[in-house]
Amino acid sequence: MDLRQLRYFTAIVEEGSLSRAAARLHVSQPPLSTQLKALEDEIGVRLLERSNRGVTPTAAGVVFYEEVRAALLRLEQARQRARQVHEGDVGALAVGFVSIADYGILPPALKRFRSRYPRVEVQLHELTTDAQIRELRAGRLDLAIGLAPVDEPDLRFERVLREALVLAAPADHPAVQGEGAVDLRVLARDSFIVPPRDIGPGLYDLIISRCRAAGFVPRITQSARQMQTIIGLVSSGMGVALVPASVQQLQRAGVQYRPLRGRPAQIELGILRPRGDSGPLADNFAATLHRVAAGDDAAAGA
């Protein structure tokens, strides 16, 4: 037996007539009769009784119809689910992210992604970029949001946005009194709080290079892996920090933020994932990140 015979049979039962079933299926009546007889011959029982009043199922036909209808429904559900998976509409997606992303692009991207793909479970993992690389290689992440530079032959990095660095300083620091941008040169004697270079070489090197361009080598007295820890140390008066502009969303008592004077010092935030086909779920999430970063509200909500 094949699917065509089963669909013919259920149509005949539901219509109660060979002619009406043929019209519903857009076939002529003789092939319908032929396929029905072949089905009954294969099963070895009569499934339908024909009379002047139409066609009715036998006792065996009633049982067969219920089973076939359930099987066809399951097949249709399987077809729909396979299509949804193929298009990235269902499933689970493991996403790594640096803490910086949580203050800027990640929340609106998640909101729009979940609105568009409500049946996709997004599993979030806050990790430094170096940890993301390890987790991607181990297959425990589908994609990640990390900091440039990333130069790994088996991974690709797609820039999403650039962010300028700003000064985070204790509220009573002379450099943040009043308004306006701060000249880095006034911080030459300050203690600096920076992320360790091994977890964020791009950010670390940018901080060092901008300080050197201002005529001094920063005196690093504290290191911290997470931005919230760095800002916490600033609020306690342990030093100053240069942080991405989105970190200003992290409001902490005793901390003031100011832009830097001169040419902007910018970091790059991007999508990190294995080379090759990363699958529709990851592709859809990456596309949402790019749209949010570009300010494409209509596309991101589509």
pTM over 0.85: no
Residue 232's pLDDT is what?
95
The helix or strand, by DSSP H or E, that contains position 249, with its residue range, turns out to be none
Q: How many CB atoms lie within 10 A of CB 122?
A: 16
Q: State both tokens at 84.
A: 């949804």
Give tens-digit pLDDT for 123-134.
999 999 999 999
Residue 297 has pLDDT above 60, yes or no: no
Rounded distance between C-alpha atoms, residue 12 and residue 54, angstroms: 10
Host H or E run for residue 55: strand 54-57
Which pLDDT score is estimated for 298?
42
Q: Contact at 8 Å (CB) between 146 and 275?
A: no
Tokens coding 29: 């009546």
Neighbours of 240 (CB within 10 A): 23
Question: Which residues are paired to 194 by β-bridges?
Answer: 223
Distance CA 75, CA 177 (A): 69
- Please give the Cα distance from 207 to 191 (Å, whole number): 13
Q: For residue 19, what pLDDT is reported?
A: 85
pLDDT score, position 272: 95
For range 175-204, the mean pLDDT: 91
- The pLDDT value recorded for residue 143 is 95
Q: What are phi and psi of 241, to 5 degrees?
A: -145, 150
User: How many Cβ atoms are within 10 Å of 77's Cβ, its own excluded?
Assistant: 10
Spell out the residues 6+ positions from residue 107 whose beta carbon is closer than 8 angstroms to its own. Answer: none
* Domains of the chain and any CATH numbers: 3-87 (1.10.10.10), 90-159+269-301 (3.40.190.10), 162-267 (3.40.190.10)
CA 157 vs. chain centroid, Å, equals: 15
